[in-house]
Structure 1
Amino acid sequence: MKFQTNIPLESQSENQIDYSSNVLLFGSCFSENIGEKLSYFKFKNTQNPFGILFHPKAIETLISKAVSGYVYTQNDVFYHNEQWHCFDAHSKLSRPSKEDLLNELNAHINVTALNLKKASHIVITLGTAWVYSNIETKQVIANCHKVPQKQFKKELLSVAEIEACLKNILNLIRSVNPSVSVIFTVSPIRHIKDGFVESTQSKAHLIAAIHQVLMGQSYYFPSFEIMMDELRDYRFYNADMIHPSPLAVTYIWEKFKAVWISEASFKTMEAVNVIQKGLQHEPFNETSEAHGKFLKNLQEKMKKLQSSYSHIQF
Structure 2
Amino acid sequence: MQFRTQIPVSKSNNPISYDSEIVSLGSCFAVNMGEKFNYFKFQNTINPFGILFHPVALKKFIDYSLADKEFTETDIFYHNERWHCFDAHSDLSSTDKEELLANLSNATKNTLSKLKTASHLIVTLGTAWVYRYNQKNELVANCHKVPQKEFSKELLNTTSIKEALSGIINSVKNINPSVNIIFTVSPVRHIKDGFSENQWSKSNLISSVHETIAEVKENLAYFPSYEIMMDELRDYRFYAEDMIHPNQVAIDYIWERFAESHITLEAFTTMKEVDTVQKGMHHRSFNPESEQHKNFLLKLEQKAKSLKDKYPHIIFK
TM band (smaller chain): over 0.9
CA contact (8 A) 2:189 2:198 kept: yes
**Counterpart residue number, 1:254:** 256
Aligned counterpart, 2:9: 9
The CA distance in 2 between the partners of 1:140 and 1:9, in whole Å, is 33
After superposition, the Cα gap between the structure-2 partners of 1:71 and 1:3, relative to the gap in structure 1 and judged at 3 Å, is closer
**Code of the aligned partner of 2:130:** V
Q: How does 1:207-246 map to 2 (within 5 A)?
A: 207-214=206-213, 215-246=217-248
4+ residue segments displaced more than 4 Å: none
Task: Report the Cα offset of residue 94 of structure 1.
Answer: 0.6
Q: CA deviation at 1:286?
A: 1.3
Alignment partner, residue 294 of structure 1: 296
Question: What is the CA-CA distance between 1:165 and the residue it aligns to?
Answer: 1.0
Deviates more, 1:292-301 or 1:197-206: 292-301
- Scaled by the length of structure 1, the TM-score of the pair is 0.98
The Cα of 1:3 is off from its aligned counterpart by: 6.1
Distance 2:160 2:306 in 1: 51
Where do 1:81-120 residues align within 5 Å?
81-120=80-119
> Separation in 1 of the partners of 2:190 and 2:234?
17
Cα displacement string for residues 141-166 of structure 1 (whole angstroms, at most 9, x for unaligned residues):
00001110111110000011101111
Distance 2:101 2:112 in 1: 16
Q: Residues of 2 paired with 1:3 and 1:115: CA distance?
A: 38
Correspondence list, 1:34-53, <5 A = 34-53=33-52
Report the CA distance between 1:18 and its aligned residue: 0.3
Alignment of 1:25-64 (within 5 A): 25-64=24-63
Aligned-pair identity in percent equals: 52
| DSSP-derived class of the 2:22 partner | strand
Q: 1: distance between equivalents of 2:166 and 2:283?
A: 47
Opposite residue 141 of structure 2, the aligned amino acid is A
Q: Distance in 2 between matches of 1:9 and 1:167?
A: 23
SS of equivalent to 1:23: strand
> Is the contact between residue 3 and residue 232 of structure 2 (CA under 8 Å) also seen in structure 1?
no
* Matched letter for residue 199 of structure 2: T
Distance (whole Å) between structure 1 residues aligned to residue 24 and residue 200 of structure 2: 25
Aligned-pair Cα RMSD in Å: 0.9
Tell me which residue corresponds to 1:126: 125
- SS, match of residue 183 in structure 2: strand
Name 2:169's counterpart in structure 1. 170
Distance 2:147 2:4 in 1: 45
**Gapped regions of structure 1 (runs ≥ 5):** none
- TM-score between the two structures when normalised by the length of structure 2: 0.97
**1:10 CA displacement:** 2.6
Aligned length: 312
Q: Which moved more, 1:251-260 or 1:291-300?
A: 291-300
Partner of 2:309: 307
